[in-house]
Amino acid sequence: MTTGWPGGFPQRRMRRLRRTETIRRMVRETWVRPDHLILPLFVRPGRGIQEPVPSMPGVFRWSVDRVVEPAREAWELGVPAVILFGLPERKDDEGSEAWREDGVVQQAVRALKEVLPELVVITDVCLCEYTSHGHCGVLEGGEVANDASLERLARAALSHARAGADWVAPSDMMDGRVGVIRRALDEAGFHEVSILAYSAKYASAFYGPFREAADSAPAFGDRRGYQMDPANAREALLEVELDGAEGADLVMVKPALPYLDVIHQVRQRTTLPVVAYQVSGEYAMLRAAGRLGWLDEVQAMRESLTAIRRAGADLIITYAALEYARAWRRELGGGEA
């Protein structure tokens, strides 16, 4: 039998390299290893607390005295980093708890670095969790004031650096915040603290469960005046370019799965490491469909993470980091790809 194509079937049989799991592993192009993942952790006031987030099964709000538990498991499973989000004791109009030296995130950073000094501790730098109005900057005349917010964001980043954070991650989408934070860190002697910039953060419907977990929904309006329009891709490349010029060490695309094309274009454009955030809505959808029996949840999660890596992400922030790392150890013995 012949197809008439030189080098084609039957001489070329593509199924030969799909025949067994061992062969498939040997020729696999894209791998997601635990060291590609970053685990988000929510930290709240109190003691002895492990509080479930209803819309994100398997995700919890942790008190400072207990947040070391999931971080230690992550580290032991090969996940190299966590990113911290704080729920403050109180909120005010300017979000002053964000830069309090004994704030909940600052306490958590110190606790983690004391017990797990090699773990990379990343802190979210934003005001939305800390402001009474729930917006990512301070207000002037009912509008989010870009320039007035920059000094507050820099103060928050500095307080995280003083606590021992390895990377600070501004997620507010104010113009110029990377440069202001880089300058503040350098002037204070924190030259080695890296900036992971939320460069292409879209005004997405996929953030709903996070806003429940972090109690960060805006009290009025929305965030489309500063987060990106989901219809735009070229704009994302400009945001990445600007953040790189201002001193970002890593850049991020958020969300991940609905924006694989953007991740790919960013990867082609920049030499900086590219991080993608598999956000709460992505995670919650897969969990819900799995619990309803509509999907194989484990396989769907694995396929989603692989797609994000295949698009070009070097690192992925995902609420599934622990589950994936456990499966990796169970199935592959933690072996290298």
Count CB-CB contacts under 10 A for residue 132: 13
Q: Are strands 37-44 and 50-52 parallel, antiparallel or unpaired?
A: unpaired
**CA dihedral (281, 287, 292, 297) positive or negative:** positive
Q: Are 69 and 109 in contact (CB under 8 A)?
A: no
> What are the tokens at 303?
């396929």
Instruction: Specify whether 201 is catalytic.
Output: yes
User: What tokens were used for 19?
Assistant: 């025949």
* Residue 204 CB neighbours (<10 A): 18
What is the spatial distance between Cα 315 and Cα 139, in angstroms, rounded to a whole number?
Answer: 34
Distance CA 244, CA 264 (A): 17
Measured CA to CA, the distance from residue 89 to residue 153 in angstroms comes to 19
Tell me the β-bridge partners of 124. 169
Please report where in the chains the tokens 């501004």 appear, as a residue.
170
Please write down the HEC assignment for all residues of 94-117: CCHHHHCCCCHHHHHHHHHHHHCC
Per the residue annotation, which of 100, 177, 182, 201 is the catalytic one?
201
DSSP output for 316-328? EEETTHHHHHHHH
Sign of the CA dihedral 214, 318, 195, 175? negative
Specify the residue for token string 């619990």: 291
> What sign does the dihedral 256-259-261-266 (CA atoms) show?
negative
Q: Does the annotation mark 254 as catalytic?
A: yes
Catalytic residue among 254, 267, 287, 309: 254
Inter-residue contact 154 to 148 (CB < 8 Å): no
Catalytic positions, please? 201, 254
